[in-house]
């Protein structure tokens, strides 16, 4: 506990230093705001880590075997989660997560009364150091519990270590991407059953209310892939047209929001489908790309991925999708497709874009799907005489492209081909140490 409290005191000291000279946040400089946010983030993670330990202790003292002597019941609550939620202002779900994380990372006592390491020591160490939040720790623990009986102890321990390391610095949403890939990697035989369970839940409901038609849909990844590709393709085309408009501020300019564009896309695609009688694809520019290891495809094992989705799909789904129109199974560099052009051409080819999508997974910085990105030269074509090669190319959305060029970020590519690692190096005013931040698809791959 002393070590935990010393970490809290250190975080408070950092917060105090960041706040120095300001009466409130409105009087802070940008640097102070960044430093205060970092200190508060670390402080919150450390407080939650301590709270999870206390929550596990409350749960232990409230176990059903104690009957009327249960701590929670003595305090007037039905269970420990209700006690914790009421006294902390959290939801019952958040309180239950604190208990689960605390129990999984607390030292254990065996039947002889001797102390044993925590169930998940790597996660516990990251929590104690303030590197992970309890929300992220709960996601990792949930995955490890699901695959615990499906992998050998050594593989489980190694997976826990890698997950705890890779999750540092990622948001909870980004960790969910990491977990989706990690679960498929650890339990490839479980991909198809999970897929079938979700597929059985697919549905679309239509109803009218207050003069509007409401549409709600739930789709499995395979069914959703062409829908997502077509809608995103339409939205991207509309944004491109908006960017090239002569007067974007004109009264008749396109000011539709993204949800409005997506609704219009669905209507336009359905209208086209109704009126189309030549058998051609409804949207030629929309493409679904399915990626799979050739050995896995041949053997019928493992799993594949679909551009724009975080959830791996089974080999069976890969084969079905690859047999459909408008779906491209990813085969890169074959049939004399040239992936490096040097200075012979300025624009990246379709084959190069596919290769970059394989490496970057979409926007290499923020993760938007490939169809919402463009291939950019890292060393500029005109200013730096940069070649049109994979090692000098990167997929970025419009926002991240401007962020990098306008704010002084640098990009580094380690290795070659689609297995290369992408790194973003922040400018000194963001991080004086210039510590590279991982980018591209491999930051979410446990096998990377």
Q: How many domains does the chain have?
A: 3
The reply to whether 381 and 324 lie within a common domain is no
The reply to whether 64 and 185 lie within a common domain is yes
Collapsing DSSP to helix, strand or coil, 218 comes out as: strand
Q: Which of 5-9, 18-22, 173-177 has the highest mean pLDDT?
A: 173-177
The reply to whether 252 and 362 lie within a common domain is no
The reply to whether 164 and 231 lie within a common domain is no
Instruction: Single out the residue of 81, 125, 131 nearest to residue 105, CA to CA.
Output: 125
The reply to whether 155 and 249 lie within a common domain is no
Q: Which of 11-25, 142-156, 288-302, 354-368 has the highest mean pLDDT?
A: 142-156
Least confident range from 6-20, 205-219, 222-236, 282-296: namely 282-296
Buried b (16+ CB within 10 A) or exposed e, 270-305: eeeeeeeeeeeebbeebbbbbbbeeeebeeeebbbb
- Whether residue 163 contacts residue 126, with contact meaning beta carbons closer than 8 Å, is answered with no
Q: What is the average pLDDT across 282-301?
A: 66
Q: What is the pLDDT of residues 63-88, one digit of tens each?
A: 999 988 999 999 989 899 999 999 99
Residue 47 placed within a domain: yes
What pairing do the DSSP bridges indicate for beta strands 288-292 and 327-329? parallel
Cα(233)–Cα(311) distance, integer angstroms:
20
Domain-terminating residue out of 136, 164, 196: 196
Q: What is the average pLDDT across 6-10?
A: 85
Q: What is the average pLDDT across 420-427?
A: 91
Domain-terminating residue out of 330, 359, 393: 330
Domain-terminating residue out of 196, 211, 233: 196
The reply to whether 81 and 165 lie within a common domain is yes
- Whether residue 341 contacts residue 403, with contact meaning beta carbons closer than 8 Å, is answered with no
Enter the pTM of the model.
0.71
Q: What is the average pLDDT across 220-233?
A: 88
Buried b (16+ CB within 10 A) or exposed e, 342-364: eeeeeebeebbbbbbbbbbbbbb
The reply to whether 18 and 102 lie within a common domain is yes
Residue 344 placed within a domain: no
Residue 64 placed within a domain: yes
Cα(175)–Cα(183) distance, integer angstroms:
12
The reply to whether 325 and 359 lie within a common domain is no
Collapsing DSSP to helix, strand or coil, 215 comes out as: strand
Collapsing DSSP to helix, strand or coil, 63 comes out as: coil
Residue 336 placed within a domain: no
* DSSP, res 378: S
Confidence of residue 331 (pLDDT cuts 50, 70, 90): very low
Please, what sign has the CA dihedral across residues 37, 42, 48, 51?
A: negative
Q: Which structural domain range is residue 20 located in?
A: 2-196
Residue 253 placed within a domain: yes
More confident residue, 178 or 317: 178
Q: What is the average pLDDT across 7-30?
A: 87
Residue 338 placed within a domain: no
The reply to whether 102 and 236 lie within a common domain is no
What pairing do the DSSP bridges indicate for beta strands 374-377 and 393-396? antiparallel
Collapsing DSSP to helix, strand or coil, 436 comes out as: coil
The reply to whether 262 and 162 lie within a common domain is no
Q: What percent of the chain has pLDDT over 90?
A: 34
Collapsing DSSP to helix, strand or coil, 364 comes out as: coil
Residue 203 placed within a domain: no
Q: What is the pLDDT of residues 144-195, one digit of tens each?
A: 999 998 999 999 999 999 999 999 989 999 999 899 889 988 888 888 888 8
Instruction: Single out the residue of 57, 56, 34, 45 nearest to residue 7, CA to CA.
Output: 45
Cα(293)–Cα(257) distance, integer angstroms:
38
The reply to whether 133 and 23 lie within a common domain is yes
Residue 51 placed within a domain: yes
- Whether residue 422 contacts residue 394, with contact meaning beta carbons closer than 8 Å, is answered with yes
The reply to whether 151 and 255 lie within a common domain is no
Confidence of residue 326 (pLDDT cuts 50, 70, 90): low
- Whether residue 101 contacts residue 122, with contact meaning beta carbons closer than 8 Å, is answered with no
- pLDDT at position 138 is 95
Cα(433)–Cα(264) distance, integer angstroms:
46
* DSSP, res 154: H
């Amino acid at each position: 506990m002393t070590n935990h409290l010393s970490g809290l005191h250190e975080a408070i000291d950092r917060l105090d230093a960041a706040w120095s000279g300001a009466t409130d946040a409105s009087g802070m400089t940008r640097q102070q705001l960044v430093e205060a946010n970092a200190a508060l983030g670390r402080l919150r993670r450390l407080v939650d880590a301590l709270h999870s330990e206390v929550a596990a202790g409350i749960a232990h003292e409230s176990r059903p075997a104690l009957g009327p002597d249960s701590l929670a019941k003595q305090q007037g609550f039905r269970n420990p989660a209700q006690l914790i939620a009421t006294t902390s202002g959290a939801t019952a779900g958040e309180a239950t997560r604190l208990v689960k994380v605390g129990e999984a990372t607390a030292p254990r006592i065996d039947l002889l009364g001797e102390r044993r390491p925590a169930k998940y020591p790597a996660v516990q160490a990251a929590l104690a150091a303030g590197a992970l939040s309890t929300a992220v720790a709960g996601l990792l623990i949930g995955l490890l519990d699901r695959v615990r009986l499906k992998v050998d102890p050594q593989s489980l321990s190694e997976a826990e270590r890698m997950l705890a390391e890779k999750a540092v610095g990622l948001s909870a949403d980004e960790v969910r991407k990491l977990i989706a890939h990690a679960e498929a990697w650890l339990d490839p035989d479980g991909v198809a059953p999970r897929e079938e369970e979700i597929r059985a839940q697919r549905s679309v409901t239509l109803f009218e209310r207050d003069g509007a038609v409401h549409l709600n849909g739930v789709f499995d990844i395979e069914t959703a892939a062409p829908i997502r590709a077509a809608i995103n393709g339409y939205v991207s085309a509309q944004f491109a047209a908006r960017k090239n408009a002569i007067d974007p501020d004109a009264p008749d300019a396109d000011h539709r929001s993204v949800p409005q564009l997506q609704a219009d896309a669905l209507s336009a695609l359905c209208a086209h489908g109704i009126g189309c009688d030549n058998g051609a694809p409804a949207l030629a520019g929309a493409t679904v790309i399915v990626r799979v290891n050739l050995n896995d495809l041949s053997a019928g094992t493992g799993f594949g991925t679909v551009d724009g989705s975080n959830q791996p799909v089974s080999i069976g789904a890969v084969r079905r999708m690859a047999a459909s129109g408008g779906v491209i199974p990813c085969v890169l560099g074959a049939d004399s497709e040239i992936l490096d052009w040097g200075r012979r051409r300025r624009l990246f080819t379709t084959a190069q874009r596919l290769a970059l999508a394989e490496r970057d997974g979409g926007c290499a910085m923020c993760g938007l799907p490939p169809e919402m990105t463009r291939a950019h030269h890292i060393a500029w074509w005109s200013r730096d005489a940069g070649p049109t090669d994979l090692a000098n190319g990167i997929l970025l959305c419009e926002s991240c492209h401007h962020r990098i060029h306008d704010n002084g970020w640098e990009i580094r590519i380690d290795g070659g081909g689609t297995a290369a690692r992408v790194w973003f190096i922040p400018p000194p005013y963001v991080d004086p140490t210039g510590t590279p931040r991982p980018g591209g698809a491999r930051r979410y791959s446990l096998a990377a």
